[in-house]
């Protein structure tokens, strides 16, 4: 009997989740994974903490090595093997073996594309200089950490004020004693927050000593003997020993596009809620795939490990002939910047307005614990709900320890299509070390109740 073969393109969160899940349900299937980099299944979200020096060895970020996959799961995970072409009709892939500098083809019965995302790199002079780093792969994180060890830079410029930029700025500023300048083209950091909440994050960043420059655009990198010396922006020059790019990512779908697969939002691969593409036997999952936004009810793209893992699991179940669906996301994200915590879920004001929704908001400031309990710190909660129905549309939180994970209550309400009134009435946990009598999320809901 010939074993049916699944080929997985990409050996990180989505690809390896799918492969492992399939193996759990189907002991017979042949599973081959091609990963163009040297590592499989690593925690990309952990890279800023490795750069911070909070994690000793990069291996700690690797959940499972190719050897583990081979020996424990009978999954043929091949690193430094790049899939360069896919022929959906002929059911074959072309592979470039970077280890042995050769190419070969392989046939598949099923194909799962899990090629992840690519970082944006600004097309400016000097961007290839020594001392300019990205942080999207484990290799790039290792290279940056080595640079920090060896060159002991005093000054760094981080380009981009989204999650990755902020986390790297934290790592360098709060943990490696590097003087950090953060430049962001937009008038606020954290474009995934409303401007008022983004402004709170901006304050928090300045509060920890980061030199934040908003509305400033990278124009060139100045070098001296091929090494970074300064950056030039539209507002001037900033001397620096190190530049880290944290400009966000886009779906890595050139291969899929060349193979003729349909692309959707942000050029992510179009899939249904089973992770199947419209092309028979071809699947996609993770940062390269489109998903669905359960509040806006529209196709959506997000590049997050937690979503990639869920998509991978669903793909694996369906590849095994089972029945699993990934209904979509509500846009939840969380981040830590030194002692500050930032979280968001659902729609921004701008997004709600664009959808033509009639909405109100309320923003409150209270404490993370009972006011009299030691360590009670500040927390700001903003809620968004539809007028009339009272249906919750989104929430944002900025605060200190214990603040951010409260976003999960709002996310759960969004999944349950619950109202502001229901949130006010909710039996959330209370004890002085954990919360004021009215949880901050409910304080915000009470304020919003008066508006909707």
**Which of residues 26 and 211 has its CB atom nearest to a second copy in the complex?**
26
CA-nearest of 156, 343, 160 to 245 is 160
Residue 394 · residue 347 · CB < 8 Å: yes
Residues 349-378 that bind a second copy (CB under 8 A): 370-374
**Which of residues 215 and 375 has its CB atom nearest to a second copy in the complex?**
375
Instruction: Please report how close the Cβ of residue 96 comes to a second copy at its closest, in angstroms.
Output: 30
Q: Does 141 bind a second copy (CB under 8 A)?
A: no
Instruction: Please report how close the Cβ of residue 226 comes to a second copy at its closest, in angstroms.
Output: 34
First to last CA, the chain: 64
3-state secondary structure at position 97: strand
**Which of residues 26 and 408 has its CB atom nearest to a second copy in the complex?**
408
- Measured between alpha carbons, how far is 399 from 178 in angstroms, rounded to an integer? 24
Active-site residue, selected from the candidate residues 45, 174, 288, 338: 45
Residue 45 among the catalytic residues:
yes
Q: Does 190 bind a second copy (CB under 8 A)?
A: no
Burial of 429 (0-12, 13-18, 19+ CB in 10 A): exposed
Sole window of 108-116, 233-241, 244-252, 334-342 interacting with a second copy (rule: CB under 8 A): 334-342
Q: Does 271 bind a second copy (CB under 8 A)?
A: no
Neighbours of 408 (CB within 10 A): 14
Q: DSSP secondary structure string, 255-291?
A: HHHHTT--B-GGGPBP--TTSB-SSTTEEE-STTB-E
Instruction: Please report how close the Cβ of residue 118 comes to a second copy at its closest, in angstroms.
Output: 21
331 dihedral zone (left: phi>0; alpha: psi -120 to 50; beta): left
- Measured between alpha carbons, how far is 66 from 41 in angstroms, rounded to an integer? 9
Q: Does 431 bind a second copy (CB under 8 A)?
A: yes
Burial of 59 (0-12, 13-18, 19+ CB in 10 A): exposed
Question: Which backbone phi and psi does 369 adopt, to 5 degrees?
Answer: -130, 175
Residues 272-311 that bind a second copy (CB under 8 A): 294, 304-307, 309-310
Among 233, 277, 279, 332, interactor with a second copy by CB under 8 A: 332
Question: Which backbone phi and psi does 318 adopt, to 5 degrees?
Answer: -70, -35
Instruction: Please report how close the Cβ of residue 423 comes to a second copy at its closest, in angstroms.
Output: 8
The size of the interface with a second copy (CB under 8 A), counted in residues, is 63
CA-nearest of 329, 125, 339, 359 to 243 is 125
Among 334, 364, 379, 381, interactor with a second copy by CB under 8 A: 334
- Two tokens, residue 200: 């709170």
238 Cβ contact partners less than 8 Å away, ≥ 6 residues apart: 157, 181, 183, 230, 231
Q: Does 426 bind a second copy (CB under 8 A)?
A: yes
3-state secondary structure at position 28: coil
**Which of residues 282 and 393 has its CB atom nearest to a second copy in the complex?**
393
Q: Half-sphere exposure (CA, 13 Å, Cβ side) for 217?
A: 6
**Which of residues 86 and 307 has its CB atom nearest to a second copy in the complex?**
307
DSSP structure class, residue 12: S
Instruction: Please report how close the Cβ of residue 361 comes to a second copy at its closest, in angstroms.
Output: 20
Among 195, 229, 415, 451, interactor with a second copy by CB under 8 A: 415
Q: Does 323 bind a second copy (CB under 8 A)?
A: no
- Measured between alpha carbons, how far is 232 from 159 in angstroms, rounded to an integer? 12
Instruction: Please report how close the Cβ of residue 415 comes to a second copy at its closest, in angstroms.
Output: 5
**Which of residues 35 and 439 has its CB atom nearest to a second copy in the complex?**
439
DSSP structure class, residue 53: T
Instruction: Please report how close the Cβ of residue 414 comes to a second copy at its closest, in angstroms.
Output: 8
Instruction: Please report how close the Cβ of residue 329 comes to a second copy at its closest, in angstroms.
Output: 4
- The rounded radius of gyration (Å) of the Cα atoms in the chain is 23
**Which of residues 266 and 336 has its CB atom nearest to a second copy in the complex?**
336
**Which of residues 45 and 265 has its CB atom nearest to a second copy in the complex?**
45
Q: Does 418 bind a second copy (CB under 8 A)?
A: yes
Enumerate binding residues for a second copy (CB under 8 A).
13, 43, 45-46, 49, 54-55, 60-61, 294, 304-307, 309-310, 326-336, 341, 343, 345, 370-374, 402, 404-409, 411-413, 415-416, 418, 422, 425-435, 437-439
| Positions marked active-site | 45
């Amino acid at each position: 009997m010939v074993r049916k073969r699944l080929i997985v393109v990409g050996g990180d969160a989505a690809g390896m989740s799918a492969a492992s899940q399939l193996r759990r349900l189907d002991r017979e299937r042949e599973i081959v994974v091609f990963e163009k980099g040297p590592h499989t299944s690593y925690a990309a979200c952990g890279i800023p903490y490795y750069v911070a020096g909070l994690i000793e060895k990069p291996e700690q970020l690797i959940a499972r090595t190719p050897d583990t996959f081979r020996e424990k799961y009978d999954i043929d995970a091949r690193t430094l093997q790049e899939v360069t072409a896919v022929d959906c009709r002929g059911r074959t892939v072309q592979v470039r073996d970077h280890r042995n500098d050769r190419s070969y083809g392989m046939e598949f019965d099923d194909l799962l594309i899990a090629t992840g995302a690519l970082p944006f790199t600004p097309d400016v002079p000097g961007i290839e200089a020594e001392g300019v780093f990205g942080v999207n792969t484990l290799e790039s994180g290792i290279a940056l950490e080595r640079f920090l060890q060896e060159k002991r830079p005093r000054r760094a410029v981080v380009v981009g004020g989204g999650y990755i930029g902020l986390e790297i700025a934290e790592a360098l500023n709060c943990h490696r004693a590097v003087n950090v300048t953060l430049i962001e083209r937009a008038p606020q950091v954290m474009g995934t927050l409303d401007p008022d909440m983004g402004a709170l994050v901006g304050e928090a960043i300045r509060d920890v000593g980061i030199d934040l420059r908003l509305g400033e655009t990278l124009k060139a990198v100045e070098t001296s003997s091929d090494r970074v010396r300064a950056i030039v922006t539209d507002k001037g020059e900033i001397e620096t020993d190190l530049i880290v790019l944290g400009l966000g990512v886009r779906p890595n779908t050139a291969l899929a596009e060349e193979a003729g697969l349909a692309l959707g939002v942000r050029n992510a691969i179009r899939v249904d809620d089973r992770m199947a593409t419209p092309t028979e036997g071809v699947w996609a999952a993770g940062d390269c795939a489109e998903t669905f936004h359960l509040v806006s009810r529209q196709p959506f793209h997000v590049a997050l490990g937690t979503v990639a893992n869920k998509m991978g699991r669903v793909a694996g179940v369906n590849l095994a002939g089972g029945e699993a669906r990934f209904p979509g996301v509500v846009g939840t994200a969380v981040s830590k910047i030194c002692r500050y915590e930032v979280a968001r879920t659902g729609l921004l004001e701008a997004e709600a307005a664009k959808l033509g929704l009639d909405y109100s908001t309320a923003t409150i400031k209270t404490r993370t614990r009972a006011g009299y309990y030691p360590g009670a710190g500040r927390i700001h909660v903003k809620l968004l709900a539809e007028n009339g129905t009272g249906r919750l549309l989104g929430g944002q939180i900025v605060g200190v320890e214990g603040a951010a994970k409260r976003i999960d209550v709002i996310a759960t309400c969004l999944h349950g299509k619950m109202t502001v009134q229901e949130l006010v009435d909710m039996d959330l946990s209370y004890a002085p070390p954990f919360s004021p009598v009215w949880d901050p999320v409910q304080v915000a809901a009470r304020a919003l109740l008066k508006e909707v």
